[in-house]
Every structure is written in C-alpha cells, then in structure tokens.
Amino acid sequence: MSKIQDFTSILPPAWCPGCGNFGILNALKKALVELKIEPHQTLFVSDIGQAGKLPHYTRGNVFNSLHGRAIPSAIGAKIGNRMLHVIVSIGDGGAYGEGLNHLVHAMRRNHDITCLVHDNQVYGLTKGQASPTTDIGGVTKTTPYGAPPPINPLLLALAVDAGFVARGFSDDTTHLKDLIKAGVQYHGFSLIDILQPCVSFNHKNTHEWYGQRVYHLDGSVYQPSDKNAAFIKAQEWGDKIPIGILYRHERPIYEENLPVLDADEDLTTIVRSGKIDELITEFV
Amino acid sequence: MTNTINFMVGGEAGQGVQTIGYLLTKSLARYGYQVFSDQDYESRVRGGHNFFRVRASQSPVNAINENIDILIAFNLETIALHRHEVVTAGIIIYDSELIQNLQGSNLLNIPAERLVLEATGGKQTANTVLLAAALAICGYEFASFANLLEEFFGKESAEKNIKAADSAYKYVEARSIKKSQYRLKPIGNTNRMILNGNEAMALGAIAAGCKFMAAYPMTPVTPIMEYMAAKSKEFNMVVVPAEDEIAAINMVVGAGYAGIRAMTATSGGGFCLMVEGLGLAGMTETPIVVIEGQRPGPTIGLPTRQEQSDLQFVLHASHGEFPRMVLAPSTVEECFWSVEKAFNLADKYQLPVIVMTDHHLATSYNTVERFDLTRTNIDRGSINTSNMGEYQRHLFTENGISPRAFPGKSTALVVTDSDEHDENGHLTEDPAIRTRMTNKRLGKMALAQEDIQSPKLYGPEQPDMILVGWGSTFGAIREAVDILNNRGKKIAHLHFHEIWPFPKDTVKEILADCPEVFVVESNATGQLAQLIRQETCIQVNSNILRYDGRPMIPSDVIMALHEEVK
C-alpha cells in the first residue's frame, strides 16, 4: 500500500508562493494514496508551462511532452501499456488552445486517461498573456483592449459526449481529491477542469474571487447522469460557479473497439509470428 | 531490349485502369516474368487521364520504358496522348463503338461493350474484355487468366469477368486476328511476389513486430496504414487514424516510450506538421520509425506525382540538434528490408529513424523473390535489468546509450522530459549537464555510422564517369548505365540506399579519383549533390535533374549525357 511519502519528490517546486498548483499536487497525491496506487503504476504525462512541471514534484513514471501534445503522447503510452494509470497534467493554454484538437478527439474516441487541466485563465510561464479561458474583456499584455469571449471547456466536452466532465477548485483540496479519485476510477476519458488562481498574473480570478463564487454540486439534488442539466450547469459562470461532477455516463472506451486489445497481450514483448509467411503468400 | 514487352493501360479515373493494370501485372508475374509497373494518375476520383504502365522482362527490371508495345485504351484521350509512344510493330487495343473514326495503323478494334453485353447481359466488365484480348493475341493461356480472375474477384464476382474474358478469347480466335509478335509463355520462377513499395513497407513493419501505428491519410503512403489496419487483428497491432499528423507522431512517441515498436507514415506536407514531435523523440531518446513518402512540393504541390525533394528537409527537420538516421530504399524489395532494419536501429540507438520513399517507389509494382524471413532479426537494444538503486533513464554511459526500462513493467520509474534533463530525466538548466547531455545524444551518431550501409559502386573499374543516385532512381540509372556500357562507355553507378549518418569516408574514396561525377536526382536543386559537397568537400561536375512530377526513366539519363536513345 502506498503512502504520501512514496509520492513525495526530493525536488523543490519552482512555483510561486501561493500558486494554485500546490493544491492540485496535494489533492493528486492524496487521491492516489487513497486509491492504493503505487508510483510505478502511474504515468504522469505533462504539457509544458507551470502545470507541466507537476510530475517532477511527485513520483511516478513521467513523460513530459510538448506544448499542446500531452494528450496524444498519453494515448500512445496508454495503448502501449494498458495497466498504467495515465494522468495528464496540462494548462488551459495546452488543453484549450495549442492542443484543443487533441482534447476534442480524445474525448470523442474515449481513451481511458484522466486529464487534469490547471485552468488559471492566463498564460503564467510566459508571464501574463491572455489564454483561451481569460474572461471576456480581460486586459492582459496581449489583449490591452480586452480579451475576446473565452472558450467554455465543459460545454465543449458535453458537445462531444465526453463521459466524465468535472470542475474542481485548487483551494478545495478535499473536494478536488475526490474528483481526481473518481476520474482515475472512471473507465474512459475524464476531463477535470481545475480552477486555479495565478497569484502573479491573474489579478481578477484570485483565491478570494473563486472562493466567494464556487459551490458544490450536491449529489442528492443534482444528477450527473442528466446531460441536459449538465448543459445548463456548464453555462453557469459569474456570481456562482458550480464545482463537482457535471456529467458522468459509461460508454465503450476506444480500446474496446480494437479486437487486438482483447487478447490482453503484452505489446512490449515481440513474439515472432509465423503468420507473416501467410501474408507473403498473399502477394504471390 | 528484345526480351522486354511494354504495356500501357489508359483511361479516366474510375474506369478501372488500376484494376486492369494490376491484373495484367499479376498475369505476367504468374508466367514467371519479372515485372515493373508504375501508375500515373491525377488528383481526382473520376475523369481525367490515368495510365498504368506494365513492363515485363525475362531478367530483373526496375524501371519503366516510355515505348509501348501494346496499348489498351479505354478512351480516346489515351490514344491521342500516347499513340506516338507505340512502336512500329505495336498494337492499340480499343473499342471502336466507343472510340470512333480512328485512322491509321496498329489499331485493333475489339467491340468490348457489345461482346460483354452478349456474354453477361451487362457492360460492367468491358475492360476485362480488352485486357483478355491483349493477353489472347500474345498467346497467354485462357485457363491461367481465368484462374487469376477467380482468385482476384472471388468465385462469385469472377463469373462475369470470366465470361467477359472468354468472349474476348473467342472473338480473337474466330476472326483469326493477327497475333502479336510478342509471345508470352510460362518461364522460370512463377512463385515470385508482386507488390508495391507501400505493401513492402507495411510487411516490413509487421515483420519487425510493429505494434502501434498512428497516421493521417496522405498520398502516396496512405495504403501503408490501410494495410496495417486490415491486418491489425491477426497481428495484434493497434492502428489509430489520428486527428492530424501532429497527434499521430506524438502518439507514436508515447507508444515508443511505453516500450512498444511504433511507427507513422506520411508525406512531405504531413511531415512538416510532425517535425516538433520528431525532435521530441530525439530529446527523450525514444525509438520511433517514420516513413516519409515524398511527392512534389512545396505545399500541396502535385499530390499524385513524383519528386525526391525532401532530402535536405528530412535531414534538418525540427529545431535544435539531435541525432537521427535516414534510410532511402531504392527498390520495392528494399522497402521491406529498410523498414525492418529501421526498427532495430531505432531501438539500438534510441532515436527517430526516417525511411524515405516517394510516389514512384510507393505505388510501383515489382516482382520480388519471396522475402527470406530467416534473415529478419529483432534487436531491442540495451534494456535495463538492474534492480539496484534508482533507475536513471538518461544514465551517462561510455557509449552514450542508456539502458531502457518500460514504464509499469517493473518498479523502476521511467522519467523523461522534453526540457533538458539530468540522468534521472528531471528538468535541469545546469550548463555542465546541458553540454554533457547534448554530447551524449549526438555522440550516438558515431556508433550509428557503423550500421549504415555505404553506397555500392557498380560497373567497370576505373570508370570515366560515375553516376550517383539515391532512392527510387536506382532502376533508371542502372538501366542507363548498362545500355551505355554495352555501347562501349565506361560508366559506373554509385547508389545510396542509406543516407544518414553520411558514409563520408567511402564516398570520398570512391569519388575522389573519378574524372567526372554526375548526380542524378528527381529534384530541382540537386540535394544529394549538396550533401556530398557538405560532407566530403567534393563538388560534382553536374546534375541530371528531373522535376516535372514524373519519374526518372533510363532515357532521361541517356539523353542528358547527349547520347542517342535507341
């Protein structure tokens, strides 16, 4: 059984003091321990930017990919070894800008990976430019006259019938831990959009700003199986912001449509097949 | 050469040019002929002008000839465009009820639509009648052709085709139509494979144990992913039709990291999108194989045509400096072996290996002796077996190669990063580590050099001239050299089958003493010539270049040397 210490890295995080990433890291570690997952059973695939550094501050297998490309790298690795718990750590720039195409198709095909989007509504590592989720009118270094309307990732996910659509808040680590646990356990693609203050470059969407607005979707009243209700909740933004699982339903994962993966074969071991000779005969 | 016979099948897209051309190719191979067939088609699904050239010989043949002995024309345009290529004793087979008012010699009217309507009650198999007529006048046995039709179409669908073929044979017989001077008869080995470069590459990947392929369709290499997808169940392969080429290569890198053999295939335009992912494989020392099928660029260029203009691009693709290997198979047979080898090289040196092909090589059919599978070999390179201490994915070793571990297969944690990283795979900005890691990665090239096959010199000793080529121009250059040497010239042929790391010592030695060196390439800027100059300081005397989108043929080379094409 794993302990928090097993997921503790010797490397000191290079994040700003007060960064929302600390909450995400703590919630992730706790979730994995509670799920009794060992570090070697996990694969963290990260994008770049501050979110991309997260895997270095815990322990597990790590593939730190290109900007926007963490999701395709994760897909390839998951197919390569289906026993791995594959968790993507990516920012709003990588998931909703540079790599949006990959996110959309990963949700559509339903690859069995968990995608944590560190959504701070700004580009942090490049120091304060507008991101795809910057609130409308947001003044940044690249939008001196105000940002255009943001993308709504949850609506987008619902539109492509993602099976697990959730939103968390980095300051509410217990709630976030439970979301991550549910996402990792979910059989299919789980999108968890995590509201996260950027203390250095986002002076609007602060700890206090989010803290005053977020509320938990109560399971007894709200039914995450109701897709129409989820569409309505996904559009709630402003004075009140819902966090929790907006939508969850089971559907076949990508791999289930591939006969090869039924065989449960270890694809890393190459077994010479006599059937190649038959292929050759087909050309004679 | 008197022992070769050249066919052409021509018509619109959608008229079955490809099917008839393929059937003709296969019929000839079944008689034991060595066959080379190329395809010329427009970027459209219906209409236009397409043709399929089939050249059969009693000895190995790797190039096309522009002369036509028998032209099978499905439309008037085919005759109008190619009549001048038909030799004096040649024959043009056509249906005069479709193509009317033709004048002149060499014409053989076969009322295909009428015959097939009488025989089958429909017109669908009219083109089979024209092909059957061509085979009949060359003495090809009906039963052999009927067998092939049944095999190709399946018992049920073949019925109409066999009836159509039978009507053609009977028509030719009943009218005592003059037989062609070319007599086809079963000769020698009838057990050769007939396949194109794409099929050979896909087979090479399967033989190498490739388990993951992700790609986006792009001419000319789309059939590689289609073939592998069709065989994915039998061979436990996963073929992902990715949303774009960027996704494709990044999936492949992810799969390679997880420890499975992974590949993608694309054309120059798709490769443009992949280059950052190529660098990712280089930086994270992940083995991947990329097939790059060239076609004329830039941009969309000529989508269904021939060029070899991506060499310098492939050698330099992606920013920063990292090791890579580049192979350039020259024949259909080599397509198989190059891809099979590429997987071993990728695993051994933990880097991206690019196998270059092009439209001509990818789509041309060639007879090949059955691949000797006992020659295949799987070398996964250095694998970590130690359980001592923390595993270091990028451990500094004497030869620069760090033993691999596969994530999740042991308790070893496999950490790697697109950022510069330390031996543990964690990101670092330490200047000393940066320098050492760069040296480690690039240092693998010196080792990899040993596994690169030097170009082979063919022809007379102390030649007056050496013609240098790479990749798919092999057949055209070789045939031109043979023709000219038979006329008393002293010309040698130096051909690159593997290009990077560049075999500079051998090349320098061979080229240094030759009075004249010409490089023959299907591009406008002489990219191999540039590479030779860069690597050996040897400036070649001249380039023979073709870049009109059509494949290099022997007469291009012969004419460029101001010799007569006979």
In tens, the pLDDT along B165-174 reads: 999 999 999 9
Question: What does DSSP say about strands B498-500 and B325-327: parallel, antiparallel, or unpaired?
Answer: antiparallel
Per CB-CB distance under 8 Å, the chain B contacts of A45 are 254
Do residues B490 and B465 make contact, with C-beta atoms less than 8 angstroms apart? yes
Q: What homologous superfamily does CATH list for B4-174?
A: Pyruvate-ferredoxin oxidoreductase, PFOR, domain III (3.40.920.10)
Burial class (CB in 10 A: 0-12, 13-18, 19+), B396: middle
User: How far away is chain A from the Cα of B53, in angstroms, using its nearest Cα?
Assistant: 19
Q: What is the 3-state secondary structure (H, E, C) of B444-474?
A: HHHHHHCCCCCCEEECCCCCCEEEEEEHHHH
pLDDT at B105: 86
The predicted-structure confidence for A61-97, as pLDDT tens digits, reads as follows 999 999 999 999 999 999 999 999 999 999 999 999 9
Do residues B310 and B301 make contact, with C-beta atoms less than 8 angstroms apart? no
Residue A187 touches partner B, C-beta closer than 8 Å = no
Question: Where residue A94 sits, what CATH number does that domain have?
Answer: 3.40.50.970
For chain A, how many structural domains are there in total? 1
The answer to whether the CB atoms of B418 and A265 lie below 8 A apart is no
CA distance to A113, B21, B106, B191, per residue, from B369 (Å): 45, 21, 36, 8
Nearest Cα residue to A32 out of A43, A22, A19 = A43
Question: Is residue B223 scored above 90 in pLDDT?
Answer: yes
Write the single-letter amino acid at B536.
Answer: T
CA distance to A174, A221, A228, B82, B140, per residue, from A240 (Å): 20, 17, 19, 75, 82
Classify each residue of B21-34 as buried b or exposed e, where b means 16 or more C-beta atoms within 10 Å of its C-beta.
bbbbbbbbbbbbbb
Token couple for B378: 């799987």
Q: What are phi and psi of B120, to 5 degrees?
A: -125, -10
Same fold: B194-375 with B456-560: yes
Query: Is residue A207 domain-resident?
Result: yes
Mean pLDDT of B61-77: 94
Q: What are phi and psi of B488, to 5 degrees?
A: 100, 5
Q: What is the 3-state secondary structure (H, E, C) of B495-512?
A: EECEEECCCHHHHHHHHH
Residues whose CB is less than 8 angstroms from the CB of residue B405 and which lie 6 or more positions away in sequence, other chains included: B383, B384, B391, B393, B412, B414
**Full domain range(s) for residue A136:** 4-253
pLDDT at A269: 87
Mean pLDDT of B443-471: 97
Query: Is residue A248 domain-resident?
Result: yes
Give dist(CA B3, CA B434) in Å, integer. Answer: 62
Residue A268 touches partner B, C-beta closer than 8 Å = yes
Tell me the pLDDT band of B1, cut-offs 50, 70 and 90: very low
What's chain A's Rg over C-alpha atoms? 20
Tell me the pLDDT band of A262, cut-offs 50, 70 and 90: low
> Which CATH number is correct for B194-375, 1.10.240.10, 3.40.50.970, 3.60.15.10, 3.40.630.10?
3.40.50.970
pLDDT at A264: 66
Give dist(CA A196, CA A205) in Å, integer. Answer: 8
- Judged by DSSP in three states, B282 sits in helix
pLDDT at B182: 86
Give dist(CA B1, CA B275) in Å, integer. Answer: 45
Instruction: Name residue, tokens 């014409």.
Output: B107
Write out the DSSP string of B342-373. HHHHHHHHTSEEEEEEEHHHHH-EEEEPPP-G
The predicted-structure confidence for B194-215, as pLDDT tens digits, reads as follows 999 999 999 999 999 999 999 9
The DSSP code for B383 is: B
- Judged by DSSP in three states, A118 sits in strand
Considering only residues 74 to 93 of chain A, which have any Cβ-Cβ distance to chain B shorter than 8 Å?
A: 74-81, 83-84
Name the strand (E) or helix (H) holding A178.
Answer: helix A173-185
Phi/psi zone of residue B278: left (φ > 0), alpha (ψ -120 to 50 degrees), beta?
alpha
Q: What are phi and psi of B223, to 5 degrees?
A: -60, -20
Mean pLDDT of B383-395: 88
The answer to whether the CB atoms of B414 and A61 lie below 8 A apart is yes
Tell me the pLDDT band of B490, cut-offs 50, 70 and 90: very high
Give dist(CA B152, CA B191) in Å, integer. Answer: 17
Per CB-CB distance under 8 Å, the chain A contacts of B366 are none
Phi/psi zone of residue B204: left (φ > 0), alpha (ψ -120 to 50 degrees), beta?
alpha
Percent of chain B exceeding pLDDT 70 equals: 100
Query: Is residue A54 domain-resident?
Result: yes
Where are chain B's structural domains?
4-174, 194-375, 382-451, 456-560
Query: Is residue A267 domain-resident?
Result: no
Query: Is residue A265 domain-resident?
Result: no
Query: Is residue A272 domain-resident?
Result: no
Nearest Cα residue to B335 out of A283, A273, A274, A278 = A283
pLDDT at B387: 75
The answer to whether the CB atoms of B280 and A66 lie below 8 A apart is yes
Burial class (CB in 10 A: 0-12, 13-18, 19+), B504: middle
pLDDT at A259: 75
Query: Is residue A282 domain-resident?
Result: no
Tell me the pLDDT band of A103, cut-offs 50, 70 and 90: very high
The answer to whether the CB atoms of B416 and A64 lie below 8 A apart is yes
The DSSP code for B540 is: P
pLDDT at B386: 79
Do residues B517 and B508 make contact, with C-beta atoms less than 8 angstroms apart? no
- Judged by DSSP in three states, B27 sits in helix
Question: Is residue B409 scored above 60 in pLDDT?
Answer: yes
User: How far away is chain B from the Cα of A256, in angstroms, using its nearest Cα?
Assistant: 12
Q: ipTM strictly over 0.90?
A: yes
The answer to whether the CB atoms of A268 and B256 lie below 8 A apart is no
Query: Is residue A146 domain-resident?
Result: yes
Per CB-CB distance under 8 Å, the chain B contacts of A76 are 212, 214, 250-258, 262
Do residues A283 and A276 make contact, with C-beta atoms less than 8 angstroms apart? no
Mean pLDDT of B304-329: 98
Percent of chain A exceeding pLDDT 70 equals: 99
Average pLDDT, chain B: 95
Token couple for A56: 């270095």
Instruction: Name residue, tokens 């991550």.
Output: A180
The answer to whether the CB atoms of B407 and A101 lie below 8 A apart is no
Quickly count: other Cβ atoms within 10 Å of residue A201's Cβ: 18
Burial class (CB in 10 A: 0-12, 13-18, 19+), B150: middle
Residue of A nearest to B233 (CA): A260
Of A64, A75, A276, the CB nearest to B419: A64
Question: Is residue A179 scored above 50 in pLDDT?
Answer: yes
Tell me the pLDDT band of B413, cut-offs 50, 70 and 90: very high
Residue B353 touches partner A, C-beta closer than 8 Å = no
**Maximum average pLDDT range among B2-16, B91-105, B198-212:** B198-212
User: How far away is chain A from the Cα of B19, in angstroms, using its nearest Cα?
Assistant: 15
Comparing B124 with B271, the larger pLDDT belongs to: B271
Per CB-CB distance under 8 Å, the chain B contacts of A261 are 238
Question: Is residue A265 scored above 90 in pLDDT?
Answer: no
Which numeric CATH code is attached to B456-560? 3.40.50.920
The answer to whether the CB atoms of A275 and B191 lie below 8 A apart is no
Token couple for B71: 């032209």
Residue of A nearest to B413 (CA): A61
Mean pLDDT of B526-541: 97
Give dist(CA B492, CA B464) in Å, integer. Answer: 8
Length of chain B (residues): 566
Mean pLDDT of B260-275: 98
The answer to whether the CB atoms of B414 and A83 lie below 8 A apart is no
Of B261, B370, B371, the CB nearest to A270: B261
Write the single-letter amino acid at B447.
Answer: L
